[in-house]
Amino acid sequence: MSEYEEEVKNMSFEESIEALENLVKELEAGGIDLDRSIEIYEKAVVLRNHCRQILDESERKIQKIMESSGAIKTEDFDID
Amino acid sequence: MAETISVAELNSRVKELFAKTPALNDIWVTGEISNLKKYPSGYYFVLKDSASEIHAVMFNSARSRISFEPTENMKVRVFGSIGMFVPRGTYQFIVEVMEKSGLGDRYLAFEALKKKLGEEGLFDQEHKRPLPAYPKRIGVVTSQSGAVIHDIITTSASRYTADIILAPAMVQGEGAAQTIVAGIKLLNKQGVDVIIVGRGGGSIEDLWPFNEEIVARAIYESQAPVVSAVGHETDFTIADFVADVRAPTPTGAAAIILRDKNEIRNEVESYVNRLNRAMISILDGMKHTFEILDNKVAPKAAIEGLNIYRINLDDISRRMDRCLIDKISSMKTDFITLDSRLQPSRALEEMVHHRTMVEVSLDKIRTSAQQEMRNSRMRLVSMDGRPESLINARMSTLESSYESSVKRLEGLNPLNVLTRGYSMITTVDGKVLTSADDVKVGDRINIHMRDGLAEADITKKEMKR
């Protein structure tokens, strides 16, 4: 499972929630053995935690971008 | 000598001069309405621009020719002539036709461009790109000092986290369209997931850059999907038609692009809930399958056999208990018989000893019986059949081993030893004699036999060598 945790770390939020949805659908469809069910469950928990982490911990940047004579300049932008 | 005229004459001459001057008659004038007053005869107002002003009047005859109601600050284009009001010596513009300023030309330009771009397919639904569900970078093309960027930054703060990259642009006036186009291109070059193009509310002139063809084409050619947020909800610009999504306001644009964080959290949890339900249902299903299999492996006959076996075991157990109790009480009686002749404490010791041995044996039998029962049960479940014969065989083994145990117990009863012809010798005060050393010639001894006691004197003694 730690291998899967490593894999999930590099997944975007969109990929994670899509993977989570697919696992839930597979489990809901049934017809799978107990081992696979438990694997799905464990993977889903990893994905859920990853999603939560992205939601709770990400911070945004607010920037201003300008181009003058072909050079692009980026600087932090503050509304106040 | 110069003539002298009256004031009325003077004003009449001015009036005549105005009337004869083509530059002051049947002309179009643009300006803004102010100080508007409505009288039964018509509208009186001041027509002004940033540099100057003039009194104007629109009589009822002219008023009936326009479809709108003139309002304060309205920008208008009026057709008419200068007229002189002789009694007061004032002049004013007499309005014969009034139209909303710019509307005619702008309206025509707007409609023409809309038609042209529409025919080219720029507004077609099939060109509309879906917005990313969870964008990481949002580009914004707008004024860096206006309320738009402020509203977007504020609104998105509580929503899904995304970077905001502002490409500052002029949003009204000459050259504004060019800066908007440059902003869209710059953000595409820089790589963003979605672009908001917008400005706050304003007059139709203020919004005009968003009706220009170069802006429409830049939106159409943008790699990143574009959300337009121009003016108020009631304002529609060409940019709105080309954009992938039209937002009613800049705040609305942020809300359309970024989902509410709590809403996403709830969605994530709803997946977990569905997962739990599915897992429970799978486990229930498995339990059910096991029950079916269990019934197949252990059919009714086996269960019945097992029940009979259990009843028999109980019966054996009861019989064993009763038998042992009988045996013990019989021994007890025997010991009581002996008691009068033997030392009481000694007899009690013997009895306790025997009893312990009996109990140990009984425990062993029980344990072994229980183990056998477990083994048999397992065998029954796995073998699916012939429980009866197995039970019977096991039961006879059990019974014979039980009987031999009982026989062994009986062998330990000292009375039985006496029955077999042996006797027990004690001193007259009941001390059991086991060695010739303990007696000497002349001692009196008691000889205990199966059914009685004899008294004797030692007449001779010989030690084994």
Record the tokens describing residue B24, joined without a space. Answer: 């002051």
CB atoms within 10 A of CB B223: 14
Question: Residue B275 falls within a domain, yes or no?
Answer: no
Alpha carbon distance, N-terminus to C-terminus of chain A: 47
Question: How large a percentage of chain B has pLDDT more than 70?
Answer: 77
As a whole number, the mean pLDDT across chain B is: 82
Whether B216 and B122 have beta carbons less than 8 Å apart is answered as yes
- pLDDT reading at B347 higher than 80: no
Same domain, B136 and B254: yes
Question: Which residue is listed with tokens 């607010």?
Answer: A62
**Closest chain B residue to A41 measured between Cα atoms?**
B275
Answer yes or no: do B447 and B390 share one domain: no
CB contact at 8 A, B315 and B395:
no
Contacts 24+ apart (CB under 8 A), A14-20: A14/B132, A14/B133, A14/B134, A16/A47, A16/A50, A16/A51, A16/A54, A17/A47, A17/A51, A17/B134, A17/B267, A17/B268, A17/B271, A19/A43, A19/A47, A20/A44, A20/A47, A20/A48, A20/A51, A20/B268, A20/B271
Query: Are B429 and B403 part of one and the same domain?
Result: no
Give the residue-averaged pLDDT of B344-371. Answer: 68
Q: What is the DSSP letter of B432?
A: B
Number of other CB atoms surrounding residue A16 within 10 Å? 23
DSSP 8-state class, residue B208: G
Supply the CATH number for residue B143's domain.
Answer: 3.40.50.261
Mean pLDDT, residues B439-465: 84
Based on the fold, state whether residues B397 and B438 are members of the same structural domain.
Answer: no
User: Measured between alpha carbons, how far is B80 from B100 in angstroms, rounded to an integer?
Assistant: 15
pLDDT of B270 reads 92
3-state secondary structure of B77: strand
Which of the 8 DSSP states describes residue B234? Answer: T
pLDDT for B253: 93
Q: What is the rounded distance in angstroms from the CA atom of residue A76 to the CA atom of residue A65?
A: 9
pLDDT at A12: 92
pLDDT confidence of residue B303:
62
Residue B176 sits in the same domain as residue B232: yes
Whether B106 maps to a domain, the answer reads no
Q: Give B-chain residues touching A30 at CB under 8 angstroms.
A: 278, 281-282, 285
Tell whether B446 and B401 lie within a shared domain.
no
Q: How confident is the model at residue B410 (pLDDT cuts 50, 70, 90)?
A: low
Q: Which residue of B133, B267, B272 is in closest CB contact with A14?
A: B133
| ipTM of the prediction | 0.88
Is residue B111 situated within a structural domain?
Answer: no
In-domain check, residue B293: no
- For range B424-443, the mean pLDDT: 83
Same domain? B166 vs B251 = yes
Classify residue B201 by burial, with Cβ atoms within 10 Å: 0-12, 13-18, 19+. Answer: middle
Give chain A positions within 8 Å (CB) of B280: none
DSSP B255-307: HHHS-BHHHHHHHHHHHHHHHHHHHHHHHHHHHHHHHHHHHHHS-HHHHHHHH
What pLDDT is stored for residue B54 in this prediction? 95
Query: pLDDT per residue over A32-71, tens digit each?
Result: 887 888 888 889 989 999 999 999 988 899 999 988 887 8
Pick the most confident of B20-34, B268-282, B404-418, B444-458: B20-34
Q: What is the full DSSP assignment across B308-319?
A: HHHHHHHHHHHH
Considering the domain architecture, whether residues B158 and B254 belong to the same structural domain is answered as yes
Question: Minimum mean pLDDT among B79-88, B122-131, B298-307: which range?
Answer: B298-307
For B8-38, the pLDDT digits (tens) are 999 999 999 999 999 999 999 999 999 999 9
pLDDT of residue B335: 58
Is residue B401 located within the same domain as residue B447? no
Pairing mode, strands B444-449 and B452-457 = antiparallel
Size of interface A-B (CB pairs under 8 A): 100
pLDDT tens digits, B148-202: 999 999 999 989 999 999 999 998 888 999 999 999 999 999 999 999 999 988 8
Q: Which domain holds residue B386?
A: 300-417
Q: Which residues of chain A make contact with B150, given a CB cutoff of 8 A?
A: 79
From A3's Cα to the closest Cα of chain B, the distance in A is 21
Q: What is the pTM of this model?
A: 0.53
Q: Are residues B240 and B307 in the same domain?
A: no
pLDDT value for B447: 87
Cα–Cα separations (whole angstroms), residue B375 to B43, B383, B391? 114, 12, 11
Inter-chain contact B274–A13, Cβ cutoff 8 Å?
A: no
Among chain A, residues having any CB pair with chain B shorter than 8 Å are 12-14, 17, 20-21, 23-24, 27-28, 30, 32, 34, 37, 40-41, 44-45, 48, 51-52, 54-55, 58-67, 72, 74, 77, 79
The burial of B47, by beta-carbon neighbours within 10 Å (0-12 exposed, 13-18 middle, 19 or more buried), is given as buried
Residues B215-270: tens digit of each pLDDT:
999 999 999 999 999 988 777 899 999 999 999 989 999 999 999 999 999 999 99
Examine the fold and report which residue of B204, B233, B259 is the final residue of a domain before the chain moves on: B259
How far A35 CA sits from the closest chain B CA (Å)? Answer: 11
Nearest CB to A58 within list B161, B182, B278? B161
Give the domain CATH number at B84. Answer: 2.40.50.140
Residues of B in contact with A12 (CB under 8 A): 134, 136
Instruction: Report residue B203's pLDDT band, with 50, 70 and 90 as the boundaries.
Output: confident
Residue B281 lies in a domain: no
Domain ranges of chain A: 2-76
Asked if the structure places residue B110 within a domain, the reply is no
Q: Which residues of A touch B153 (CB under 8 A)?
A: 62, 79
3-state helix, strand, coil in chain B (%, to 5): 55, 20, 25
Q: How far apart are CA A9 and CA A12, in angstroms?
A: 8
Q: In this structure, are B409 and B446 located in the same domain?
A: no
Look at B68-77, B85-94, B373-382, B446-455 and tell me which has the smallest mean pLDDT: B373-382
**φ, ψ at B441 (rounded to 5°):** -60, 135
Question: Do the Cβ atoms of B164 and A17 come within 8 Å?
Answer: no
User: At residue B387, does pLDDT exceed 60?
Assistant: no
**Which pLDDT band, with edges at 50, 70 and 90, does B430 fall under?**
confident
Whether B396 is covered by a domain: the verdict is yes
Q: Is B60 on the interface with A (CB under 8 A)?
A: no
- B137 and B253 co-located in one domain: yes
Q: How many domains, chain B?
A: 4
